[in-house]
Structure 1
């Protein structure tokens, strides 16, 4: 189903608030969220090569914008790479783009997908929901900002294990319901 961009953004914000922030999956996300420093971009790219072009454009945009205005970007791509295995393979191209275009060391890209599955897990394992979003998405992160956040956070190495425990305690049925609720969010363009 095709939605207006505002709906994809509203659904993503719902997920961000009700999963990532609510369960503190990324303790560094609160500040840019509260400060309105997250840029939400929906691309209508229908092919991976066009998505790579959009990714490069957004990295350039982020580089040209002060972190005080835009700390991070969520590049939502609902019509591209809907199959998780294709998406996972695409991440190698993302890494190559970062390296080849001179963004490595300045930015990194985190990955989210509705069917995200970590290696060594089963498809229905609750821990996969740490990276399951309503739509396929690339999260563009400033390395400097991340380094500052990591330096000021006690025991950053414990975050992944804590997240797994949190997600497993809540259970798969809970996570499915939250995602389904977010997918029901509709917003008309302003």
Structure 2
């Protein structure tokens, strides 16, 4: 099963593991039908945070929200803030999502951007800690995924089965099972992403 992030991971290793997860799980298993297009177009921005506490994570998240809001969607449609050295406990991370929502409100970005959540220990409220369904939102490191509401609306309109994605993903992971997931994640390192950086 996926383990929490190791603080000694280098930024390059963090980026490689995250991009591998996006390519092999999110896109490879089609967990998000909308991800392949922005990946192919180079519109996903990956950023590794050096934060070690909640205050620093909030500062990095605010900066990246500003960056995405100001960017041309054709150049940066979506962004992942990867936090390898903070919020390793899922309950702490889950509590921090309130801070993310408060930031969106304070920055008047409600209805413009939204923040999706991914974590190595992700657990849905109605699931047990080892249930394979949790893996739809399990990532190598704590991640805050910033999405544009307009892009989401267009993607949903172009996918008539969008409401069924969640159920389809759960079935995909049940078929794969924990061992299949581990084999998928043990693949060779992906190439580093040219749009990635560490603050």
Distance in structure 2 (CA, Å) of the matches to 1:19 and 1:81: 22
**2:189 maps to which residue?**
185
Deviations 1:100-139 (A, max 9, x none): 2211110000000001011111111111111000001000
Match of residue 64 from structure 2: 58
1:1-54: per-residue Cα shift (whole Å, max 9, x none)?
423322211110100111110111100101110011110000010111111111
Aligned position for 1:145: 151
In structure 2, how many angstroms separate the alpha carbons of the residues matched to 1:178 and 1:83? 24
The separation in 2 between residues aligned to 1:162 and 1:77, in whole angstroms, is 28
2:136 aligned to 116, 130, 138, which one?
130
Residue pair 1:6, 1:187 contacting (<8 A) in 2 also: no
- 2:161 corresponds to: 155
Comparing 2-11 with 47-56, greater Cα deviation is found at: 2-11
User: Relative CO higher for 1 or 2, CA cutoff 8 Å, sep ≥ 6?
Assistant: 2
SS in structure 1 opposite 2:114? strand
* Residue matched to 1:99: 105
Partner of 2:197: none
Aligned to 2:44: 38
Which of 71, 77, 94 is residue 71 of structure 1 equivalent to? Answer: 77
Q: Verify: 1:2 aligned to 2:12, yes or no.
A: no
What's the TM-score, normalizing by structure 1? Answer: 0.93
- In the alignment, does 2:87 pair up with 1:81? yes
Indicate how the Cα distance of structure 1 residues 12 and 156 shifts in structure 2: closer, same or farther if over 3 A, else same.
Answer: same
Specify every segment of 5 or more residues in structure 1 that has no aligned partner in the other structure, as ranges.
Answer: none
* Alignment partner, residue 122 of structure 2: 116
Choose which of 2, 11, 15 in structure 1 pairs with 2:17: 11
Q: Could you tell me how far 1:189 is from its partner in structure 2?
A: 11
Runs of 4+ in 1 over 2 A off after TM superposition: 176-179, 184-190
Q: CA deviation at 1:166?
A: 0.5
- Secondary structure in 1 aligned to 2:60? helix
In the alignment, the residues of structure 2 paired with residue 188 and residue 106 of structure 1 have an alpha-carbon distance, to the nearest angstrom, of: 29
